[in-house]
Amino acid sequence: MTYVIALPCVDVKDRACVDECPVDCIYEGNRMLYIQPDECVDCGACEPVCPVEAIFYEDDTPDQWADYYNANVDFFDDLGAPGGAAKMGVIDKDHPLIEALPTQPNPSPDTHVRFRANGPAAPYTAVMSISDTHVRARPSGHPGRADLPGLLSIGGLAKLTRVSPRSLRYYEEQGLLVARRTEAGHRRYESEAVDRVLLVQRLFAAGLSSADIRPVLPGMIDDAHCTEDLVTELREHRDRLQQEVERQLDTIDILDEVIEEHSAHAG
Ligand code: SF4
Ligand code: SF4
């Protein structure tokens, strides 16, 4: 799985994403940037900084831009995995899909300003348009990036919790984490998601499965949902773990006996 750059980047190319990518895998063509799928480490850092919401997690790419997955992949057919975009500079080509496009009515990169928010709640980079020409000039069908302001992107949540975007998407699949979606389809999280993810991790570390965690999570997050049943379920889980540990200790005892017998023969 990888991230994909789609149509809104064409003729914008402000390179905000390049500054964020920890592995330098976003390469510049003549009219658009392209993510090298084998080099992308799926960190999600580039997605929230794009001023025109051109970057999507592969599975979240809107249907009308589905071809951009192949455009990103095919761009590297003759380049392979160069191992860093900086040394390549501007690569003098584009994918045929992009070459065939008329000039896009996107704003000049000068109409955007980037800033890095500080403080524990928002140690991520945000991008804002400083001109409403951005909104007017957006390609038709593109929803813009003003919805759900102030929420965490998946990359931001991953950074705060040190849980990979891949795991965060798995938590969501398992019903352990809820993401809101921007109009463009990007995941956004309330700040409470940080505590929730840390708690889920702790419960996984305590040996609970997703199925174990799902019913007890609401009561652990919100005292109002904390019932005697929750405590009982956790105690039962502890008892099962205790039984498992005792069973393993018995197994070790038997193995020790066998080792001793064979050591005597071997000696
Ligand atoms: S997801 Fe991370 S590694 Fe992949 S292109 Fe974006 S910033 Fe680079
Ligand atoms: S931040 Fe968005 S518009 Fe800017 S270069 Fe990257 S993908 Fe293109």
Closest CA to 46 of 37, 61, 36, 56: 56
Q: How far apart are alpha carbons 242 and 206 in whole angstroms?
A: 12
Is-contact 37 73, C-beta < 8 A? yes
Residue 164 vs residues 7, 9, 84, 148, 167: alpha-carbon distances, Å = 27, 26, 22, 22, 5
Q: What is the 19 CA–ligand 2 centroid distance (Å)?
A: 10
Q: For residue 207, how far is its CA from the centre of ligand 1 (angstroms)?
A: 31
Residues 6+ apart with CB under 8 A from 157: 163, 168, 189, 193, 194, 197
Secondary element (H or E) of residue 129: strand 125-129
Please state the atom number of ligand 2 nearest to the C-alpha of residue 15. 5
User: Which residue stretches of the chain are H helix?
Assistant: 16-20, 67-74, 96-99, 133-137, 154-161, 165-173, 192-205, 210-221, 228-266
Q: Which among 9, 65, 113 is the best mutation to test ligand 2's pocket, defined by most ligand atoms within 8 Å of the CB?
A: 9
Collect all residues with Cβ–Cβ distance below 8 Å to 51 and sequence separation of at least 6.
Answer: 12, 14, 16, 112, 114, 127, 128, 129, 134, 145
Q: pLDDT digit string (tens) for 8-19?
A: 999 999 999 999
3-state secondary structure (DSSP) of residue 221: helix
Q: How far is the CA of 85 from the centre of ligand 1 (A)?
A: 12
Residues with CB under 6 A from ligand 1: 3, 20-21, 23, 25-26, 35, 40-46
For residue 106, the model assigns a pLDDT of 58
Pair type for strands 3-5 and 33-35: unpaired
Q: In which residue ranges of the chain is pLDDT below 50?
A: 109-144, 146
Distances in Å between the alpha carbon of 182 and those of 93, 188, 206, 257?
32, 7, 34, 62
Burial of 58 (0-12, 13-18, 19+ CB in 10 A): middle
Instruction: Considering every ligand atom shown, identify the ligand nearest to the alpha carbon of residue 38 and give its number.
Output: 1
pTM metric for this prediction: 0.70
Per-residue pLDDT, 121: 35
What is the C-alpha to C-alpha distance for residues 47 and 186, in angstroms, rounded to an integer? 8
Position in ligand 1 atom list of the atom nearest CA 20: 7
